[in-house]
Amino acid sequence: MNTIGDDATLEGGCTCGEVRYHLTSKPMFVHCCHCTWCQRGTGASFALNAMIETDRVVLTQGVTELVDTPSPSGKGQKIVRCPKCRVAVWSHYAGAGDLVSFIRVGTLDDASLLPPDIHIYTSTKQPWVTLSENIPAVEEFYDRNDYWPEESLTRLGTLFS
């Protein structure tokens, strides 16, 4: 699990500065997803998403636009974007609905504060991407009970109780 201090300020925004947000706590878990859908959706070799309760994401400036996009599950993904520069700042997947936000770590002012807790869908990662031996990696998805810290599992369970 990421090791940011409790006093860390997790703030971010879009490229043009129109949209700004801050997180009121550290995320539950951070995925580095190497699936081909994330590669296509980001235009990069992977997506780095920090999962956090949506009520812990505070929009401090601007307005966002919700864009529905397809997903491999067929249930879609809602991407929250800046309406001016179109940068994706977070998203919601059908499995967790609107209760969990997947913050695009690259939109944080200091993205180095949230390294990945796990690499997922490594079966389709780009062959030139080298993974650290210190971070768990799985070929597809995983059972969160095997990787998430108890505190994060409790937080997630509270959302759905």
Residue range 142-146: mean pLDDT, rounded: 96
For 1-12, what is the mean pLDDT? Answer: 68
Residue pair 26/151 in contact by the 8 Å Cβ criterion: no
Q: Which amino acid is at 82?
A: C
Arithmetic mean of pLDDT, 53-73: 92
Residue 75: pLDDT band by 50, 70, 90 thresholds?
A: confident
Domain regions of the chain by residue span: 11-143
The pLDDT score that the predictor gives to residue 63 is 97
- Specify the pLDDT at position 7: 57
Query: How far apart (Å, rounded) are the C-alpha atoms in residues 136 and 144?
Result: 12
Supply the pTM of this predicted model.
0.91
How many whole angstroms separate alpha carbon 148 and alpha carbon 142?
Answer: 10
Average pLDDT over the chain reads: 93
Task: Report the CATH architecture of 11-143.
Answer: Alpha-Beta Complex (3.90)
> Percent of the chain scored above 90 by pLDDT?
80
- Mean pLDDT, to the nearest integer, of 16-24? 97
